Amino acid sequence: MMKSKADEEDYWHSSKFKAFTFDDDDDEFSRLKESRQAVNSIRRLVEEDDDEDDVEKVSWSGEPVGSISWSVKETAASNQRADREPTFPRISTDTPSISRSQSGYSLSSLFKGGATQSLSSCNLISVGNVITDYVSDWSPEEVVQRLQQGKAVSLEKFRSLQDKLLLLDLAVAAHDGNVITAVLIYLKRTLCKEVLFRELESRQTALRHFIHYLSETQDQRLLLELHRSLLQYKEHLSIKDENKRRDFLKNCLSLPFSAEDLAHVQDHYTLLERQIIIEATDSQAERGGKVEVFQKFPRKASILNMPLITTLYYCCFYHYTEPQGTFSSPLNIRQTFKISEKQYFVTALAARAKLKAWLDVDALFASRSWLGFTRKKSPLSFHRVVDILQKNSAPTQVLQEYVALVDDSELRLSLAQKHKCHDIVINTYRDMKDRQLLLAYRGKVARGSAEERKIDELINSPQIRWKN
């Protein structure tokens, strides 16, 4: 059955498939062109540069934006989309930027709120990612790394002093001034200034950055307090009254010193406090005239404000035999201020030699072996012991005893000749079996002395086989 021409045209026009035509406004090319027009329109809305107002903007089709032809096509495209089912643009969560190929809105939809909703969604996703990074539980190393990369990160999770100092040390180790300054700003806000100053005292790099930061921000008050805490200890030099100086040093103990410097200030305070007690007691004893050592050796100066070793020497001189429980006992001072064995030995040796207390000098060298034998032992070389004794006018008998303990034979012989320890020289030449040296030394001793008679006996002894 043949169909009429009108029926055939109805059939073809009523088909569910639509033929491709270049004039169709609903094809992909029109959508792409429409998308490009929307992007250009958005750019014109968000840019605020006044210089671009004089530049003529065109759409991707080559037509000037805002012209009559452009407005007619834009209005027609809007009407066609209003008759169809509304579509919503897809927003990729992978990137906050709007892709031109995926944007499905035109300038008309922009004013209807579609593009505004899309941009708001993208901004929310971007802000959400930033907030997630900001509040994440990062380790101190990761926080420093992110700060170096210029990323936002919260430091509020570091609440304990140990964590804050660890973060500061890692920032200093990273050698990044911006990171160090950022951490210092957080510490300045969360720590009291006393604690902050004390910890910065032992971290010179961070301290320099903090001083520079205070100078740049013109925080003169805090900068002045920082310098005052670092320099306040030196002010005790200008205080004449010992009691006021002691009280001042006690207040200095609360300053933000490093551990090493704080121990030094503590020792200074303890020493001055002890000197005040010793000075008061000894002054009263000296005025009373009942203590023999003060009568034989009157004090030439006060013990106040003297160095530690001078104080130890003073106590070894005037209070050597006192029990360890008293403040003036040398052993108590040694234990309190942790004086080394060698330093204590040298000081006590010089003090007792000055007093000619040779029994006390011998007792310093007494050492008992595990077999019960007693021998002389010294933490100092014996030739230095001889020098100390000689400077304190020790008699020849005392010097000779310690010269004989020198291990090196040449040094021992040289010291014996220097200090006229004749017995040691004579015995050394005898052991060397050098008859000529012994005869030459005979002319250096006094005639008729015991040393001359000893040399004559050795020379005439048939038991010694001389080598010359």
Most confident option among 14-18, 105-109, 415-419: 415-419
3-class SS of residue 40: helix
3-class SS of residue 64: strand
Residue 272 has pLDDT above 90, yes or no: yes
Contact 412, 404 (CB under 8 A): yes
Most confident option among 55-59, 111-115, 301-305, 368-372: 301-305
Residue 365 has pLDDT above 50, yes or no: yes
| Token pair 């309190």: residue | 336
- Mean pLDDT in the chain? 77
Residue 226 has pLDDT above 70, yes or no: yes
pTM of the predicted structure, to 2 decimals: 0.53
Write the CA distances from 237 to 131, 135, 279, 350, integer angstroms.
56, 52, 20, 30
Residue % of the chain over a pLDDT of 70: 68
The DSSP call for residue 368 is E
| Token pair 């404000």: residue | 305
Max Cα distance, the chain (Å): 173
| Band (107; pLDDT cuts 50, 70, 90) | very low
The confidence score (pLDDT) of residue 284 equals 92
Instruction: From 453, 394, 402, 447, select the one nearest 424 (Cα to Cα).
Output: 402
Residue 148 has pLDDT above 50, yes or no: yes
Burial 333-360 (b: 16+ CB within 10 A, else e): bbeeeebeeeebbbbbbbbbbbbebbeb
Residue bearing the bigger pLDDT, 134 or 267: 267
| Band (116; pLDDT cuts 50, 70, 90) | very low
State the Cα–Cα distance between residues 87 and 144, nearest whole angstrom.
46
For 380-417, what is each residue's pLDDT tens digit? Answer: 999 999 999 999 999 999 999 999 999 888 899 999 99
Which of 337-340's residues contact partners 24+ apart within 8 Å by CB, and which partners? 337/267, 337/270, 337/271, 337/308, 339/308, 339/312
3-class SS of residue 374: strand
Residue 62 has pLDDT above 90, yes or no: no
| Band (112; pLDDT cuts 50, 70, 90) | very low
Report the relative pairing of strands 374-376 and 366-368 from DSSP bridges.
antiparallel
| Band (69; pLDDT cuts 50, 70, 90) | low
The confidence score (pLDDT) of residue 443 equals 86
Most confident option among 41-50, 84-93, 142-151, 275-284: 275-284
Residue bearing the bigger pLDDT, 34 or 298: 298
The confidence score (pLDDT) of residue 218 equals 86
